[in-house]
Structures are given as C-alpha cells and as structure tokens.
Structure 1
C-alpha cells in the first residue's frame, strides 16, 4: 500500500512560500523577482543582471523542511534566466552568464530537473491564497511571479493552478486504485470523469481575462524553449531545453497511464515522453506506479470507462481551440513553447483517446 504524498494532487502539499524565512539573505532574489516585469522593459536588463552577485543555494542535498524555499529560489531565478534568454524586443542571445548559470544549475540539480523554468515553477509553485481558509481556486488565488505587468499573464497561470487543484480528486481515486484494485471501479471512473469536466469548465474561462494579442506578443515569448544555449562556467555543450508548457503537467499523463490508452510510435510520442523529464521527480514516480496497474478495460463498466475518455477528449478539444486562437492563427512556426508541433500532436491525441472507447 502506498502512502499519499499528493494531498493536493500535483500542487505542493503546503501553500508555496514567498519569503525566505530560513535564509533571509535570499530576500535579494525576492526583490529581483518582484522587479523583473519592470526590468525586462529596459534594454540594459541583460547588462544589469549579468553583474549581480547571485548567492548559491547553501546545501548539497534537499531537506524536506527547506524544500519550499528551494522551490521559491528556483522559481525566482528561473524567471530571471528565461527573461535573460528570451527578452522581448531585444536581439536573440544564446549564452547565459556565469553568475546566473552556476547558481541556477546547482538549484536545478538539487531538484533533479533540467536548468530551465518549467511548468512546475511557472504554475505549480507560483500561487498564493488571499484567504487561507478558502479553497485554491479562481477568485482566491494570485501569482507570486510574472514576466509582464499584465493581468492576462496572472489569469493564464491561475487557470492552470485551479485546474491542478481540482485534479486532487483524480489523484485520490488513482491512489485508491493502486492501494485497493478491487474497489468500486465504476464509481471511481465516474468521479474522475466528473472532475475532468469541472476542469474543462475552468479551461473555457481563458478568454475572460486573456487577450490573444497580449499573450502572443508580450508574455508567451518568455516561456519558449532554449536552442543551443551555453551555460557559462558549466561543463556542458550548448543545450536545447523545452520551454514551459501545459504538456509538462502530470494530469493527462496520469490519466493516459490509468486508462492504458495506446499510441502509435511516433516523433510526437517521443516528445510526450520527454516532457516527463521536466516534471517534479515525485510526479514521475507516481506515473511509473500507475503504469504498473493492470489494464481494467475488460472489466470496467462501459459507460463509466467511456465517460473518462469523452471527458479527456473534451479537455483536449478546448485546449486545441485555444491553441489555434492564441497561437496557430498568428504564427507559421508549428512549434509550441515546449518545442513540439502542438496542433498535430493535440489532434492525434484526441483521435487515439476516442479510439480506445469500449465498443
């Protein structure tokens, strides 16, 4: 039997911290993060941050009591690093200065992740509640860090946080299946399908406070992938890393693993697998556990099983609509922020999901 490490789904079990109480000397990084949206409007931003003395995280292994502050350190520096490489309105650059590269790579090594801001830093750890006695949901949450002075970016991030908060019920049902495979499968599947439809309703709210033009021109460039970037002072060749993307969320991969949805081998499938490298290590471990579950399609209630697949397809259909409206209609580059041909990918995933339904 496994013990749950996911009381809030894939969100951290405690609200993210936004001050360095254990290491007050890092408050300088908090100030840098808060100033970042203004600094990025300055053409001398890169020159300024390349001369800052960025203190290293003082540990060589991760301690549970310090993990929240390490995540904050990674979040703040991750935004600065992506801002440096992808600064809007400035010429392309492919080299990260040593004063940023060394401390950031060190922190990312501790977190067992590639040295680039990913979905975890952009969304999973990037929120606070206004009222801690109320749920983690739209209306009661705000971001800790942004690239731009636009509520549109706050809204984009917070939509994802709300969706992740609702996934707690999905993870709970999956953990129950891992612990008690003989439990009421029909009831679990109906609950999972219902939660996904709640997430669909949240995803549909994207246009309420997010302009396609502002998203595309002002803050999407900051979460793009890195191509042949040199991390000065670090002994590695110029590297390519996938940028922040919802494909790095663990929700859909968890459902894919649970439902045993088959996919034809393809470059797209390779991209999907690579996205796991950008997930927190504990999320990857849960996905491996769920993959070990036996295929229950043959014994599942047809209506309940298909309800989950229909809900997954609905989520992806809304996602592909926003991908078209906010990105594909404005650019000829078929790659998303994660470096994948996302429109083709999303369409294929919908088709393969629906093809797996009980006949």
Structure 2
C-alpha cells in the first residue's frame, strides 16, 4: 500500500491534498462564495433565510463535468455551510430547503459521493489554510476559510481537528509500511514502525488536550454546536428535510446525519490496522453508517487496510515481548484518544443546559444518544 494511491501523504494525512485557499471557482459561482463567506455578518440579523433565498437556483451539471475534485469540494464547502445556516439560523427549523440551496448541494453531494449536507470533510479537511504556505500545518500557522458566526471558539474547534489530522499523517504512512513489513515477516521493522506510531500518538493526544485552551464548553454548546446538526433522529426535524426542486426525492423528506468527529477516518483506520473489533450493538451500527459520509478514497483506504493487515495475528504468534508491548501501547493510546473524546462530549455537551431548536444536550450532532454509547 502507498498513501499516494489514495491521494494522501505523510504531512497531511486525510487533509485535502490541495491547498484550499488556492482553489478558484468559476465567475458564476462568485456570488455563492460571497454569500457563504458573509455568513458571520448575516447571521446576527436573524434573517439569514431571506438573504440565502435571494441566491439563484444554479444547475451545476456542466460545472461538475468540467471541474476537478478540488473545485467541486470547495463549492461543497460553501454550499454546505449555507445549508446548515438556513436550517439552524432562525428559531424554528424549516420543513424544506429552497431549491437555490437544495439543487446545487444535491448535485455536489452526488459528484463527490457524500450526503448533501455539511460533512466532516467540508467542515475540517478542506476548511483550512496556512499563513506561511511553506510552513507546518499546525496550530501556529493555520486558519479557517469558512465560518458560521466567526468566533474564536468556532475557529479553534475546527483548527484543533485540522492539526490532529495533519499530525496523524505519520500514523497512516507507518501503517502502510507495516503492511509491507508484515508481508516480509520483518519483526525489527514492524517494531520500528510501532515505536514511531507510539510517539506520533503522543503528539496527537497532546494536540487534542489543547481543545479547552480557546474553545470554552459553554460557548461551544451555544455558539458552535448548533450549526453542525443533521436531520436524522433530530427532534426538531421529525422525518427530515424536504429538498425542494430535487426530482430524485419525489418530494419526500430526507434524513442525513450531522457533522461529527466520528466521521474522521483516523480512528477507523487504526482500528483496521490493529484488528480492533467492536461489539454488535447500536454504536457499531452508527459507526458503520458513518462510513458512507467519508470521502470515497478514505473509505477505500480503511477497507484496504482492514483487508491487508495481519498485525494482531503476527504479534500473537511472534512470542516477542517488545512487540507485544508496543502493539498494546498503540491500542491504549488509541483508547486514550477515544476516552478524551467522550470526556469532551460530557463537558462540552451533556453537562450544558438545554439548547435551542435541535440542540439537545442528550443527542449528538450525528443524531445519537451518545452518552449511552
């Protein structure tokens, strides 16, 4: 396996292989981009729907045929933020998305093989830039392109995830090398890769620990989280949302899960490498469902890693104490990352007071009873 075969590399991991600020869109999409980037100015008016309804209903068929993946994904970035703002930007959730948003995002979703609402890839993986284009992708050198209300807490929440994804690129690269080492039965190189992964996990977990530095739990719950909910299992939207003008739906409400860190491909990729299984319970069903929300190349990487990795079996059969300890260390550091996520879910969400429409502290942005999980 080679990262390049999946559009990935060691320095970026699952982040976009292109530099998002450098992607230009056709002239006819400029009003769309301008409207999306103006959301921090529009949202305080309380009339965001009136503004968004002024957009033209564009047929993006020709654009999709002639554009590259980067252009389609940046168009999806802007449309998906506007879709979320339309749904959650006023006190009562609407029954339908207007055609000016519904038609283009449906077309873009089909083009990139992801659901037509804000996915983790748009919220994080393609929503960053560097102040110094030649500098590192870390918290000292990155910024967000697209915002909802534009506050510091919102930007920090996104950027911590960007920095984690970049640092995790080394985990992915070592994972692909491990597949080769396993095929060769090279215990020394397997040990070296596991050592490198252990050190990288320390860095990843240290970045995650910085979330409270500039993202306050109260502000997150009331000013960041409301925008990223979906319309599946959301009490405010019942059966879902009608996508006006989208012929394929037959006018029926559509239910899609909201943006969640569980759509990141890091943890499932590591599960696949390490041979970590999950019990057949509702959480596993939810995690399996989220697989379709990832970019297609990320899905393929996880699936190929799972099919090719014999790491657990190799370690079990090697009778090598050092190798066993390193394998267990990787599992424990992955578990620490998961545990930290649960701790944040408790402090940033579950312990907060009741939110507005659709912002239930007992329901995750993906529409799950996450504390039970």
Matched residues in 1 for 2:87 and 2:14: separation?
28
Q: Are the aligned partners of 2:35 and 2:52 in contact in 1 as well (CA < 8 Å)? A: no
The 1:54/1:40 distance shift into structure 2, 3 A limit, reads farther
Matched residues in 1 for 2:22 and 2:163: separation?
19
Matched residues in 1 for 2:45 and 2:274: separation?
49
Residue aligning to 2:223: 218
Matched residues in 1 for 2:63 and 2:215: separation?
40
Residue aligning to 2:237: none
Matched residues in 2 for 1:186 and 1:244: separation?
36
**Partner SS, residue 244 of structure 1:** coil
Please give the residue correspondences for 1:83-122 in structure 2 after superposition, counting only pairs within 5 Å.
83-87=85-89, 89-122=90-123
Residue aligning to 1:37: 40
Residue aligning to 1:71: 73
The 1:247/1:80 distance shift into structure 2, 3 A limit, reads same
Matched residues in 2 for 1:344 and 1:199: separation?
26
**Partner SS, residue 242 of structure 2:** strand
CA shift at 1:58, angstroms? 4.7
Residue aligning to 2:16: 12
CA shift at 1:20, angstroms? 2.1
Matched residues in 2 for 1:57 and 1:319: separation?
38
Matched, 1:243 2:258: yes
CA shift at 1:188, angstroms? 1.3
Q: Are the aligned partners of 1:225 and 1:242 in contact in 2 as well (CA < 8 Å)? A: yes
Residue aligning to 2:84: 82
Stretch of structure 1 that moved more, 176-185 or 110-119:
176-185
Residue aligning to 1:282: 297
**Partner SS, residue 160 of structure 1:** helix
CA shift at 1:34, angstroms? 1.5
Q: Are the aligned partners of 2:351 and 2:361 in contact in 1 as well (CA < 8 Å)? A: no
Q: Are the aligned partners of 1:18 and 1:72 in contact in 2 as well (CA < 8 Å)? A: no
Please give the residue correspondences for 1:162-311 in structure 2 after superposition, counting only pairs within 5 Å.
162-181=163-182, 182=184, 183=186, 184-227=189-232, 228-234=240-246, 235-236=248-249, 237-300=252-315, 301-311=323-333
Q: Are the aligned partners of 1:18 and 1:144 in contact in 2 as well (CA < 8 Å)? A: no
**Partner SS, residue 165 of structure 2:** helix
> 1:88-129: CA deviations, max 9, x gaps?
x52121310111100110011100111010100000000000
Matched residues in 1 for 2:351 and 2:370: separation?
13
Matched residues in 1 for 2:337 and 2:46: separation?
40
CA shift at 1:51, angstroms? 2.7
Counterpart among 346, 353, 361 of residue 324 in structure 1: 346
Matched residues in 1 for 2:40 and 2:181: separation?
48
Matched residues in 2 for 1:309 and 1:149: separation?
37
Aligned residues: 342
Residue aligning to 2:127: 126
Matched residues in 1 for 2:277 and 2:49: separation?
46
Matched residues in 2 for 1:29 and 1:225: separation?
22
**Partner SS, residue 147 of structure 1:** coil
**Partner SS, residue 16 of structure 2:** coil
Residue aligning to 1:356: none
Deviation beyond 4 Å, 4+ runs, structure 1:
60-63
Superposition CA RMSD, Å: 1.8
Flag structure 2 segments of 5+ consecutive residues without an equivalent: 233-239, 316-322, 355-359
The 1:18/1:328 distance shift into structure 2, 3 A limit, reads farther
Matched, 1:26 2:29: yes
Stretch of structure 1 that moved more, 226-235 or 251-260:
226-235
Matched residues in 2 for 1:80 and 1:262: separation?
37
Matched residues in 2 for 1:180 and 1:189: separation?
11
The 1:19/1:293 distance shift into structure 2, 3 A limit, reads closer
CA shift at 1:341, angstroms? 2.3
Q: Are the aligned partners of 1:243 and 1:338 in contact in 2 as well (CA < 8 Å)? A: yes
Residue aligning to 2:365: 337
Matched residues in 2 for 1:142 and 1:315: separation?
24
Q: Are the aligned partners of 1:127 and 1:142 in contact in 2 as well (CA < 8 Å)? A: yes
Matched residues in 2 for 1:136 and 1:35: separation?
26
